[in-house]
Amino acid sequence: MEPKNFFNDVYDVVRQIPAGRVTSYGAIATFLGSKLSARMVGWAMNACHTMPDVPAHRVVNRNGILSGKHFFGSPTAMEDLLSAEGIVVKEDKIIDFKKHFWNPSDELL
């Protein structure tokens, strides 16, 4: 049996975020039973940008700010990906963040 890997668990959750929705590092950490591990979720997101099946652009900080945008290869890539899904971003912050927020603890029971 393969040992449990936190990063892989994070990627499994992120793969389930629907297009046009976003979640936060903390919401993923809480869902995985490790609510104080939001920073580790961030590390997982920073490590997965070469994995095309993990939509890391849909994970932002708890205020809807594109805090991980520096890991996307260009300064606007994360915003461009979100915009293509109908999410409006202004000054690196998602407009109507609560409307677009997807909480894995509610959605993945």
The CATH number assigned to the domain holding 84 equals 1.10.10.10
pLDDT per residue over 4-48, tens digit each? 699 999 999 999 999 999 999 999 999 999 988 999 999 999 999
The closest alpha carbon to 29, from 58, 2, 6, belongs to 6
Single pTM value for the model: 0.93
Does residue 107 belong to any structural domain of this protein?
no
Q: Is the pLDDT of residue 73 over 90?
A: no
Domain annotation covers residue 102: no
Query: What's the pLDDT band for 2 if we cut at 50, 70, 90?
Result: very low
Backbone angles phi, psi at 26, to 5 degrees: -65, -40
Q: Is residue 51 in some structural domain?
A: yes
What tokens does 105 get?
A: 């603890």
Is residue 108 in a domain? Answer: no
| Region for residue 74 given its phi and psi (left: phi exceeds 0; alpha: psi -120 to 50; beta: otherwise) | beta
Considering its fold, how many domains does the chain have in total?
Answer: 1
Tell me, what's the pLDDT at 4?
65
**How confident is the model over 98-108, as pLDDT tens digits?**
999 999 999 99
User: Which structural domain range is residue 73 located in?
Assistant: 6-96
